[in-house]
Structure 1
Amino acid sequence: MTDGTRLGGRYAVRSGWQVATLAERRTESPSAVTLVLDVPGWPGHQPGQHLDVRLTAADGYTAERSYSLASASGPAAGGGRVEITVQRVADGEVSPYLVDSFPVGSAIEVRGPIGGWFVWDPVRDAGTPVLLLAGGSGLVPLMAMARARREAGDRTPFRLICSVRTAEDQLYPDELAALTARSDGFEARTIFTRAVSLTALRGPRRLTDSELASWGWPPDLEPRVYVCGPTGFVETVSRMLVAQGHDPARVRTERFGPAGG
């Protein structure tokens, strides 16, 4: 892939796309980084939306991928800067380059924001309890919701359950701990499915029905529920929620699967 210097130059930027510049990189885990992109004229977004990125090789070959926005919103939350968190996909085509090789100062084409269903609005939706369920990097758009809540000074009750393979795979652990420590109605739990951390209170296993019932909100509170992660995780958790009595119309899902990374 090109370093991006030719984007918008030799290769014309097609309608709907614009050139962004990588302003900062932050390591989140051994396999994930947050990329802070400077996007001129960014119109703002709602937490839960995503954007498309496109890389162009020297021979003109292009590859496009969609990534959830990790930043709370914009422009109030950062002007023309937005954040995406990218997890390296084994044998992937795009994510290894973005995680391991994409240098600060380089350009990349972006298009967005995209999506309007899997979103939480701190004004419109304030007050109704929220349950966030994440599988792996499915945490990213849910973290945008948690950050939007914090930045709005909102006290809507939030409960987050994140399922990851090992402690090394965790995203934003310190920030989640800090959000919980604020004691303003935000609670976060992380479970491990393959290997536990030294401080884990349970052994490695998948989320159980009883844990979901205990750690989530009861259906009679009619919470807004957002589930994001690999297809298998999303389908399993969604079935559990409906079986527990949650209204399917209040359960919003977003899933991802193999797409070349």
Structure 2
Amino acid sequence: MTDLPASAARSTWNASDWHEALVVEAYAETPTARTIRMRLPAAAALPALVAGQHIDVRLTAPDGYTAVRSYSLASAATGGILEITVEELTDGEVSPYLVRGLDVGDRLEIRGPIGGWFVWLDEEPAPVQLIAGGSGVVPLMAMIRAHEAGTNPSPFRLLYSVRSPEMAYYRAELEELARVSPRFDLDWVYTRRAPSGWPHAPGRLDLTRLAASVQPLGSTALTYVCGATPFVEFAADALVRSGRDPARIRTERYGGAEGG
């Protein structure tokens, strides 16, 4: 495995500049998504990352054409390694290459970290309710991992809506965490196909399922909702109509463009 040039390792990190990152691992997360781990140059100079932030990725074609997409970070830069998970879009310019064409040892141009609103800080004392639809779980996973790595005693709860079991990101890690961690609970909603013996019929997240998941943490919980725009709008509106303070609800959404 090749390393980054020494000159890159000595450079000063600027979040608004483009930097080269070395791909050190890439594996399928679902049939249509891939997790990519990158080693950063100047890791010691990288500003502190906050769970929930994202980076920009830029691809440049041989003719000079460039395409830039934003991807949420799935974890902090532990040991100078960044992790993203990319969902392939059939009409995308960037995601098909990242999911099917990128190899370990390749380099990616990245910029960031970016974002300061849809983030979780370890000093936050309130319990946290996370609500994810599909690939919207990625920044929430960064929060879950940061929470588990720290000492914050506040409970975390994730409500994760997916089409079917095999389309769930980080499924094994989430289920193991829910089994062993006293600070983390997990609820699933399956919209197309549920596991054998699942107590609920497949279907979209509704008011009953939403209420059942968020009630245990109470009305003071800080809530993060991430997913496709209709999913986020439904969940946020339902929370407000149920009496939740809008100031305690943070949302991030994606539409038809690539990203996740």
Same topology, TM > 0.5:
yes
Q: Which amino acid counterpart does residue 21 of structure 2 have in structure 1?
A: A
Answer yes or no: is the 8 Å Cα contact 2:23–2:103 preserved in 1.
yes
SS at match of 2:130: strand
For 2:117 and 2:258, the matched residues in 1 are separated by: 25
Do structure 1's residue 203 and structure 2's residue 201 form an aligned pair? Answer: yes
1:132-171 equivalences in 2 (<5 Å): 132-171=130-169
1:61-210 equivalences in 2 (<5 Å): 61-71=65-75, 73-74=76-77, 78-122=78-122, 124-125=123-124, 127-210=125-208
Q: Which amino acid counterpart does residue 113 of structure 1 have in structure 2?
A: P
Q: Which amino acid counterpart does residue 64 of structure 1 have in structure 2?
A: V
Moved more, 45-54 or 20-29: 20-29
For 2:193 and 2:33, the matched residues in 1 are separated by: 19
SS at match of 2:50: coil
SS at match of 1:163: strand
Answer yes or no: is the 8 Å Cα contact 2:130–2:223 preserved in 1.
yes
For 1:199 and 1:109, the matched residues in 2 are separated by: 45
How far apart are 1:183 and its partner, in Å?
A: 3.7
How far apart are 1:115 and its partner, in Å?
A: 0.2
Answer yes or no: is the 8 Å Cα contact 2:129–2:222 preserved in 1.
yes
Gaps of 5+ in 1: 1-7, 9-14
Q: Which residue in 2 is equivalent to 1:40?
A: 41
For 1:150 and 1:47, the matched residues in 2 are separated by: 12
For 1:183 and 1:110, the matched residues in 2 are separated by: 34
Q: Which amino acid counterpart does residue 97 of structure 1 have in structure 2?
A: Y
For 1:200 and 1:154, the matched residues in 2 are separated by: 32
Q: Which amino acid counterpart does residue 144 of structure 1 have in structure 2?
A: A
Do structure 1's residue 49 and structure 2's residue 53 form an aligned pair? Answer: yes
Amino-acid identity (%) = 49
For 2:186 and 2:207, the matched residues in 1 are separated by: 17
Q: Which amino acid counterpart does residue 17 of structure 1 have in structure 2?
A: W
How far apart are 1:221 and its partner, in Å?
A: 3.6
Moved more, 26-35 or 227-236: 26-35
SS at match of 1:217: helix
Answer yes or no: is the 8 Å Cα contact 1:36–1:83 preserved in 2.
yes
Runs of 4+ in 1 over 4 A off after TM superposition: none
How far apart are 1:174 and its partner, in Å?
A: 0.7
Q: How many residues align?
A: 243
Q: Which amino acid counterpart does residue 72 of structure 2 have in structure 1?
A: S
Q: TM-score, with normalisation over the residues of structure 2?
A: 0.89
Q: Which residue in 2 is equivalent to 1:11?
A: none
Gaps of 5+ in 2: 1-7, 9-15
SS at match of 1:70: strand
How far apart are 1:49 and its partner, in Å?
A: 0.3
Q: TM-score, with normalisation over the residues of structure 1?
A: 0.89
For 1:136 and 1:241, the matched residues in 2 are separated by: 19
